[in-house]
Structure 1
Amino acid sequence: MSGFRHVVMFRWAEGTTTGQQDEVAAKLRELPGVIPGIREYGVGVNAGVNPGAYDFVVVADFADRDAYLVYRDHPVHRAVVDEYITPIAAERASIQYEP
């Protein structure tokens, strides 16, 4: 596969509700319909198989680095991050790479 991949994982703050997590997932799932350049987009909740894992992941594929940058800086994406994710995120880890 050619292109550019973005992976981000979150650990939610203690006290984060299932409703808040569901709201984050729902808001993120709307982004491919709003932001051009997203090839594939998936979000998921940790299956709980291994201890110490993160709680939530986003895996997004783009045609190239420039398409990722459009997504990263898009005001709708920034609003989701600022309004729904940042208030409940305790930790965040991310990587971007060319698969």
Structure 2
Amino acid sequence: MIVHIVLFKWHPDTSAEKIVSVMSALKGMKGKIPEIIDISCGNNFSELSQGFQNVLVVQFKDKAALDAYAKNADHQEIIKTLIKPILADKITIDYEF
């Protein structure tokens, strides 16, 4: 099993509505990308987050499924149109268990 985690830090002037749109689109990937086993995302409330505001966690069967997800057109469209315009920084972590 592969777990893919992304922490997002948005530009300071990003509206709450834009963040909600991103989170909604990310959650909607489960029905569009067959390689996704499970997906969750939400607001970070930790005071130790170094400014990272949201998190995405996605589970895949194996690395091949993660690679297919990374190249998927629906995923790439979300990145291009919703995430990149408001993204200040991100951290991505992938691990296998």
1:48 Cα deviation (Å)? 4.5
1:50 Cα deviation (Å)? 3.3
Match of 1:85 in 2: 83
Distance change (3 Å), C-alpha of 1:22 and 1:97: same
Contact kept, 8 Å, 1:46 with 1:53, in 2: the verdict is: no
Instruction: Determine whether 1:22 maps to 2:25.
Output: no
Deviations 1:9-44 (CA, angstroms, capped at 9, x unpaired): 110001000000000011111100000121110101
Q: Answer 1 or 2: which has greater helix percent.
A: 2
Q: Size of the alignment, in residue pairs?
A: 97
Which of 40, 59, 63 in structure 2 is aligned with 1:61? 59
Deviations 1:30-81 (CA, angstroms, capped at 9, x unpaired): 1000001211101011125436241111010000001111111100000001
Distance (whole Å) between structure 2 residues aligned to residue 14 and residue 85 of structure 1: 14
**TM-score (normalizing by structure 1):** 0.92
**TM-score (normalizing by structure 2):** 0.94
Which of 33, 37, 40 in structure 2 is aligned with 1:39? 37
Structure 1 runs of 4+ with >4 Å offset: none
Distance (whole Å) between structure 2 residues aligned to residue 52 and residue 95 of structure 1: 16
Which of 1, 5, 8 in structure 2 is aligned with 1:7? 5
Match of 1:95 in 2: 93
CA root-mean-square deviation: 1.2
Distance (whole Å) between structure 1 residues aligned to residue 49 and residue 69 of structure 2: 32
